[in-house]
Amino acid sequence: MTTIEGKVAVVTGAGRGIGRAIAVELGGMGAKVVLAARSVPELEETARLIGGNASVIPTDVRNREDVHKLLEEAASALGPIDIVVNAAGIGIFRQVTEFSDADYDAILDTNLRSIFLVSRFVLRSMISRQTGHIINIASIAGKVGSATRAVYCASKFGVVGFTESLAEEVRQHGIRVSLICPGSTDTGFSSDPHREGKSRSRMLSPADIAHAVRMIVTQEPNSFISEVILRPTMKP
């Protein structure tokens, strides 16, 4: 099994939930993990869980300058970036007629545009080195639409399409681009009406998604896992 000991990994949305679990998993595997999110206290708590392999760089992934600063600082301090996990995401759930322009922009900029910004930046180095791994966290909501989720689903459908296309674009350079689509996961999206009445104990845990990331980054060089769809064993 391929090791990632000493590799440089950047995880967005690393302050909590799925992003935190992934960052802790990668740190436990020996990677040098760069933690990115807006909340410094949350990032520091993730860093405490990881230990000495973690670096904190507060970042608003909706902002291009912030994204560039994150990736430049990470590469300058630790070396070329080997792994990127785009886990930053937000959810706002309501009828389309009740959506504001600001809410629309916040979801699309966080869930989709940030992945474009990060990928475009890191690919320059990855292509020149003929290696690298980008993992994008989407959702089952990127496969199936549902009421009050139109904008959220649009962002996640976009992540699916972007990831599948990018994977084809860069695979000849030895770069592996992978997609993870989790089902109901016990995270902070408490405002999602689709979670009402569901049993949290039956949901996926963030650690389940982190385990999928472990599987992806330890693939042998001549293959890559292009997509993982995770569902709870029993419906919540």
Q: Which residues are known catalytic residues?
A: 152
Q: What are phi and psi of 56, to 5 degrees?
A: -105, 125
Q: Is 76 exposed, middle or buried (0-12, 13-18, 19+ CB in 10 A)?
A: exposed
* Residue whose C-alpha is closest to residue 148's, from 103, 114, 205, 182: 103
Measured distance CA(4)–CA(223) in Å, rounded = 16
Measured distance CA(199)–CA(58) in Å, rounded = 33
How far lies 134's CA from each of 147, 156, 196, 225, in Å?
Answer: 31, 16, 33, 11
